[in-house]
């Protein structure tokens, strides 16, 4: 079964994680935010939601594919905050796969995005794109970067929720982009 959203074809495929669920996946697309690395886009919606929220999903997808180099640059301070918070929490000796970093300049060298999905917040009911994958400083929990409506940075942190409202069941937490044990960054920065 196929579906087209925003001139992109998606195929319904059996989920590799849940035998009772299907995923809607695109072919691999060049992602400008990731220097045109190619990823499939997954739509995290059931068939009814795809019909009901089609225009919101399409707008989020379009905005996501328009993220570019300046958005990548803006992410650096939040990525570095995640790195620095980890180091302050557990120590540099836990950096098995990377050298200690003094600033944000090369932080993207240690981020490995492998997945892109479009989904909806459970708490705020807003739409998000979420990039997930691994990072060399936090092997166990990986990395997630979310953009509300596909173009407004909403959250950077370990793999999981699309926004801090969902992570903490508290809408006031969306004032933070990164919310760590020691370091926090804010949406207004």
Q: What is the pTM of this model?
A: 0.95
- Number of neighbouring beta carbons within 10 Å of residue 10: 22
Q: Is the dihedral of CA 173, 85, 79, 45 positive or negative?
A: negative
Beta strand spans in the chain (E): 2-5, 8-14, 22-26, 29-31, 37-39, 41-43, 111-120, 127-135, 143-148, 152-157, 176-179, 184-186
Share of the chain above pLDDT 70, in %: 99
Residue 178 β-bridge partners: 185
| Mean pLDDT across 159-180 | 95
User: What are the pLDDT digits (tens) for 80-136?
Assistant: 999 999 999 999 988 887 899 999 999 999 999 999 999 999 999 999 999 999 999
pLDDT at residue 15, rounded to an integer:
84
CA distance 87 to 182: 10
User: What value does the mean pLDDT of the chain take?
Assistant: 95
Phi and psi based region of residue 10 (left: phi greater than 0; alpha: psi -120 to 50; beta: remaining): beta
pLDDT at residue 187, rounded to an integer:
87
- Number of neighbouring beta carbons within 10 Å of residue 105: 10
The number of folded domains in the chain is 1
Query: What residue has token string 């220097």?
Result: 35
Domain, as residue range, for 131 = 1-189
- Predicted confidence (pLDDT) at residue 189 exceeds the cutoff of 70: no
Share of the chain above pLDDT 90, in %: 89
């Amino acid at each position: 079964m196929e579906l087209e959203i925003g001139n992109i074809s998606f195929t319904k495929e059996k989920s590799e994680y849940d035998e009772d669920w299907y995923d809607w996946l695109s072919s691999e697309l060049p992602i400008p935010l990731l220097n045109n690395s190619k990823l499939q886009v997954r739509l995290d919606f059931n068939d009814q939601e795809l019909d009901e929220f089609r225009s919101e999903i399409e707008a989020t997808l379009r905005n996501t594919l328009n993220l570019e180099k300046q958005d990548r640059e803006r992410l650096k301070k939040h990525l570095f905050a995640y790195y620095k918070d980890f180091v302050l929490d557990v120590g540099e000796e836990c950096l098995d796969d990377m050298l200690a970093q003094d600033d944000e300049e090369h932080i993207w060298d240690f981020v490995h995005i492998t997945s892109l999905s479009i989904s909806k917040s459970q708490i705020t009911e807003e739409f998000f794109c979420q990039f997930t994958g691994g990072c060399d400083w936090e092997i166990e929990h990986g990395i997630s970067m979310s953009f509300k409506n596909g173009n407004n940075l909403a959250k950077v942190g370990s793999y999981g929720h699309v926004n801090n409202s969902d992570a903490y069941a508290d809408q006031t937490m969306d004032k933070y982009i990164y919310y760590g044990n020691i370091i926090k960054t804010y949406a207004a920065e």
